[in-house]
Amino acid sequence: MLDSGKNVYPEELEAFYSDSKLISDIAVFGIMVNGSETVFAVIVPIKANITYKELKLEITRLGRGLPTYKTVKDFAISVDPLPKTTKRTNINSKIIDNLEQGLYNRGEGEAGIEKELTANDPKKIAIINILKDELKSKKLYCSQNLRDFNIDSLGSMNLIVQLEVKLSIKIEEKIFSAAENLENLTNYLSICKRGEGRTTFDELINGKIETKSVAFFNPIFELLLVIFRFLSKIKYERIFLSLGKKS
């Protein structure tokens, strides 16, 4: 499924484009290109002397028979056979890895391929899985940041609480918010020490309600201000207590 919510089935498109007399083999998948998920292909041409331009014209011609959201928007050429399973299906994870390493010829393509956020370290894997769950995304990319997921200040605080509770770490809110992208954020979270003392959750639940007087003293105004902040505190206590129970 693409970011747009449209369903795209790689096997269906691979069978469709494989009917071309110029294509020996093809792998179709979704990747991030310039900030949005795009239908991309890696193609093995039927002959080594077939050019990128010829394939581009062929892909465009074939695409006229498909809905716009299903058409291949960009592609790369492989001179070697595509990685396959024992059942002869494409190993897309390996193909994408090869693409990110520049092993395929992208010809005239100019858009930058964005690298998926992955890790081998168990702690980083746990962090990435929590981020995927909280950001409601099956895939995350290194260059993305929290703004790409419409995370506001309250959402950021919620995410910090969830990460602290689930990873048993103490997060510095300023450093967390200053992370330029998800890769940097993951690296920071992986070196956070185990939670000691008051966590962000503790600060939200147990922090003092402070009032700031106006230039003139008005007892009714001051009383209303205290009541308003007290009720707001109760509201957020309930929110974060429910978050703690879910985790």
Lowest-confidence segment of 10-19, 96-105, 188-197 by average pLDDT: 188-197
State whether 126 and 197 are in the same domain.
yes
**Domain range holding 20?**
10-100
pLDDT at 234: 55
Other C-beta atoms lying within 10 Å of the C-beta of residue 166: 15
Mean pLDDT of the 69-97 span: 91
Mean pLDDT of the 198-223 span: 49
Mean pLDDT of the 163-188 span: 88
How high is the mean pLDDT of the chain?
Answer: 78
State whether 199 and 214 are in the same domain.
no
Query: Which residues, 6+ apart, have CB-to-CB distance to 54 below 8 Å?
Result: 22
pLDDT at 244: 55
pLDDT grade for 111, boundaries at 50, 70 and 90 = very low
CATH of the domain at 145: 1.10.1200.10
pLDDT grade for 37, boundaries at 50, 70 and 90 = confident
pTM beyond 0.75, yes or no: no
Mean pLDDT of the 77-106 span: 89
List % helix, strand, coil for the chain (3-state, nearest 5).
45, 15, 40
Question: Running DSSP on this structure, what letter comes out for residue 165?
Answer: H
**Closest of 150, 170, 147 to residue 160, by C-alpha:** 170
* Residue of higher predicted confidence among 117 and 230: 117
**Structural domain contains residue 110:** no
Spell out where 14-120 has E strands: 23-33, 36-45, 74-77
State whether 179 and 194 are in the same domain.
yes
